[in-house]
Structure 1
């Protein structure tokens, strides 16, 4: 596992909201940093609508707090390079794609990544922001670094079956049929975190308390730790052209505290 991650070279993650990166790639980022690799994170929005209680957490306040939380979370993983595009939370699908892609191209040209991480075309949960970021990152990589490896976050039927009892308690997926499953033989990277690494990811998750405290309280620390201890990625070359199905775009809303799941 450590050897596979060390071979990824310089890693650039492109995500929609603070906490997407930690749920889907915290173990990968920590392992890469431990191996001396450069890891850079890009977040499209500040997640200012990521609350079920907008009266207590008006957008400006939540954005400021989530920015602090994300810095603390990334610090746990050893990641110090972070770019925020500052786009409106929930409205990425309406933002001009040319502008977003151009800004990502500039970052890619500066970072010169060997590996780019992002959502698959399904957006994992079906979130419209996730889907837009996937399109932008895919297009920016094609323009600025076509030689870089592009990995989409994914999951498997076995994982979903194992954790169905958790999903039954949560309203996670925003379109029917989600998430897209990848057959194990097509996975490009499959990390099973344990011991110190799983604990470290839990600490990084807890650092983003406005999004995770209620979920940890609901599930318990051990279940949260174990549920989030698997990370899986598929090469875009393998995913592109597959029958992803037609996803119903998510409608932007005032999101619950845990709608960006592992």
Structure 2
């Protein structure tokens, strides 16, 4: 628990409702149990996150997922939440300067000790995830105190191997993903204790438009085992990059389509 309490005030920045619970639900619950302040930011309402748009048109799904996220965070003990209000699936088109400025304002207000978000790969390869991770790294670079840590969610190689068939069955990752990390690249790896895991599963269950089908298909025990690990690498705050920049994960650097020879830290 000391490892968690040492993180101090935590600010999580995510793209869609359920990202926060899947990737850091255990971390948030443990931090709140340790008495730490936890603030969650969500970029979109996830209004396009359905395979049944006739039943769930965007406005209806956005309203439902807003309620689901509130219930999810309540289970985790998180009482502070902010929406950025961007359109689901369009974060990569948002001018980065505006999004980063909004996150800088929140960082200035909250003064987090630790910021948690996606790595440059976006965990699953989703463009919204990648954009939000990019904005957050830039905002930490610009506005956070020098002592602030940036932790970026990661996929471990052994988890990817263990759950390869499940991940392929449910199309969890975009083609070419995940980008896996070795143990010596991790700054924090959590194998959730039974009580914390049960709480995380309850929080995810609250987001039923996204999780009910998975839980039914996998079974509760397998689903719980699937979400029992959370891993993070130490991120490097990065200056703002333009909309033509992309993450070269093979060489672990930003590159710009406008100036191909350039690399950004």
In the alignment, is the contact (CA less than 8 A) between 1:101 and 1:140 conserved in 2? yes
Aligned equivalents of 2:237, 2:10: Cα separation in 1: 19
Is structure 2 residue 162 aligned with structure 1 residue 157? no
Q: Report the Cα offset of residue 4 of structure 1.
A: 0.8
Q: Report the Cα offset of residue 237 of structure 1.
A: 3.6
Cross-structure match for 2:231? 232
TM-score (norm 1): 0.90
In the alignment, is the contact (CA less than 8 A) between 2:137 and 2:236 conserved in 1? no
Cross-structure match for 2:15? 16
Q: Report the Cα offset of residue 245 of structure 1.
A: 2.3
Aligned equivalents of 2:250, 2:49: Cα separation in 1: 27
State the aligned residue count. Answer: 244
1:165-199 CA-to-partner distances (Å, cap 9, x unmatched) read 311311111131x1111110121000001211110
1:92-144 CA-to-partner distances (Å, cap 9, x unmatched) read 00011111000000000000000000000000111000000011000000000
Aligned equivalents of 2:118, 2:160: Cα separation in 1: 17
Question: What value does the CA root-mean-square deviation take over the aligned residues?
Answer: 1.9
Which runs of 5 or more structure 2 residues have no equivalent in the other structure? 239-246, 253-265
4+ aligned runs moved over 4 Å, structure 1: none
TM-score (norm 2): 0.89
Aligned equivalents of 1:30, 1:14: Cα separation in 2: 16
The DSSP-based 3-state class of the residue aligned with 1:53 is coil
If asked which structure has higher relative contact order (CA below 8 Å, sep 6+), I would say: 1
Larger-Rg structure: 2
Cross-structure match for 1:244? 249
1:5-58 CA-to-partner distances (Å, cap 9, x unmatched) read 111000000000000000000000000000000000000000000000111000
Aligned equivalents of 1:59, 1:237: Cα separation in 2: 35
Aligned equivalents of 2:185, 2:84: Cα separation in 1: 32
Aligned equivalents of 1:15, 1:221: Cα separation in 2: 25
> Whose strand fraction is larger, Structure 1's or Structure 2's?
2
Cross-structure match for 2:127? 128
Aligned equivalents of 1:169, 1:91: Cα separation in 2: 26
Cross-structure match for 1:180? 179
Aligned equivalents of 2:12, 2:175: Cα separation in 1: 24
Aligned equivalents of 2:145, 2:116: Cα separation in 1: 14
- How is 1:1-262 mapped onto 2 (pairs within 5 angstroms)? 2-147=1-146, 148-176=148-176, 178-237=177-236, 244-245=249-250
